[in-house]
Amino acid sequence: MTEKLATCKKPFQGLKCEVCQKTFKSTATLRYHTKFQHNGNFKQFNCDHCNYKTTTKAVLRNHIEGVHLQIKKHKCNLCAYSSCYMENLRRHIRNIHEGRKDYKCDFCDRTFDLNRNKERHVKSIHLQLKPFKCEVCDYTAAEKRVLHHHLLASHGDGIKNFACNMCDYKALSKGEVASHITRVHSGKFKLLECNECDYKTKTNAQLKSHVNGVHSKTNHLKCNLCSYASSYLPNLKRHIRNVHEGQKNFKCDLCERTFQTKNHMKKHFEDIHLKLKPFKCSVCDYATSGKALLNNHLQACHGDGTKNFKCDVCDYKAVTKREITVHVKRRHT
């Protein structure tokens, strides 16, 4: 493998100063040289397709080939991956084939392939920093791309202009399509399995969150307004929005009902207005709109009907775990 990896790394020719023709290893050193050796009088090269500017022809050429022409000339010798940029190929090799994650978070056990990814994780997860603010509403985000997605989804036309070239998936942003391709089509990730159940995931963070939430039941995230606690931060945020703030920002286009999440609105639209029932029983003609309802039917009608799930607060018992969850929400929250 070492020989194959080595073939992916082409010799770096350097960046040339347009004034004295001297070469440098990075754009930063070239800028430093230009500033102090030539009094900052460097030649500016502008892209004809956008507002991009740079100090060298080579960097401008790479920009045009990568951004506008989408020429993926850097190909991995170990798989079908290719990229417009050599740095992306090197990162791909480190992450996928070498499995290197050299940057460890100081607050938790997560490791990262790049220092900037670690810093982004610390700021958003541990420091809870959200410096990017929406100019239309009170929404704030930890990253600029997340704010951009919010603007498109909430205040833009909502049109999903970016399509996957392998399936029918479409998204609001190019980044979402890239993440989709990595998750669904790459096939490079080995699923991590839970030791307690059949749960599988692609990341250590999600596996750890699953174990803490389902098996350990630490519930270390507590609501400041009531006794509610959860192992998942999204659940706590949803609880605050739903119970204490009463937010219902998503309205059905065909009726007056409003919902707290877009998924709930979509489910309502499919169940009530479209009358979709895609989940069909393999034993009888029963069909329903949700997988959980089908499982309830299978256990109640075709299983032994034993109520194996018990409420932790009272003596209520049910056939399925979901029934217990609904019961607790209705009776004990």
Are residues 82 and 129 both part of a single domain? no
What CATH code is carried by the domain that includes residue 121? 3.30.160.60
Are residues 107 and 55 both part of a single domain? no
Take residue 1 and report the two structure tokens written for it: 């493998």
pTM greater than 0.75:
no
Q: Of 67, 97, 127, which residue constitutes the final position of a domain?
A: 97
* Cα 328 to Cα 269: distance, rounded to the nearest angstrom: 26
Q: How far is CA 326 from CA 69, 82, 254, 263, 292, in A?
A: 53, 48, 27, 18, 12
Domains in the chain, number: 3
| Structure letter (DSSP) for residue 272 | I
Residue corresponding to tokens 């960097």: 59
Q: Of 158, 185, 212, which residue constitutes the final position of a domain?
A: 185
Mean pLDDT of 43-62: 78
Are residues 85 and 160 both part of a single domain? no
The predicted pLDDT at position 5 comes to 46
Are residues 88 and 127 both part of a single domain? no
Give phi and psi for 221, each to the nearest 5: -95, 115
In a domain, 263, yes or no: no
What is the distance of C-alpha 253 from the center of its chain? 28
The residue segments making up the domain with residue 166 are 103-185
* Cα 167 to Cα 164: distance, rounded to the nearest angstrom: 6
In a domain, 300, yes or no: yes
In a domain, 266, yes or no: no
Burial of 93 (0-12, 13-18, 19+ CB in 10 A): buried
Handedness of CA 182, 184, 187, 190 (dihedral sign): positive
In a domain, 268, yes or no: no
Are residues 55 and 6 both part of a single domain? yes
Are residues 165 and 110 both part of a single domain? yes
Are residues 52 and 10 both part of a single domain? yes
In a domain, 191, yes or no: no
Are residues 114 and 173 both part of a single domain? yes
pLDDT, one tens digit per residue, over 209-268 is 777 777 766 677 788 888 888 877 777 887 888 788 877 878 887 888 888 777 888 888
What CATH code is carried by the domain that includes residue 290? 3.30.160
For residue 53, what are the contacts with CB-CB under 8 A and spacing of at least 6?
44, 45, 46, 47
* Cα 177 to Cα 170: distance, rounded to the nearest angstrom: 7
pLDDT, one tens digit per residue, over 120-142 is 888 878 877 888 888 777 888 88
Are residues 113 and 85 both part of a single domain? no
In a domain, 235, yes or no: no
In a domain, 295, yes or no: yes
Are residues 111 and 173 both part of a single domain? yes
Are residues 69 and 117 both part of a single domain? no
pLDDT, one tens digit per residue, over 164-216 is 877 788 877 777 777 777 767 765 556 678 888 888 776 676 777 777 777 76
Are residues 54 and 129 both part of a single domain? no
In a domain, 142, yes or no: yes
Q: Of 70, 97, 124, which residue constitutes the final position of a domain?
A: 97
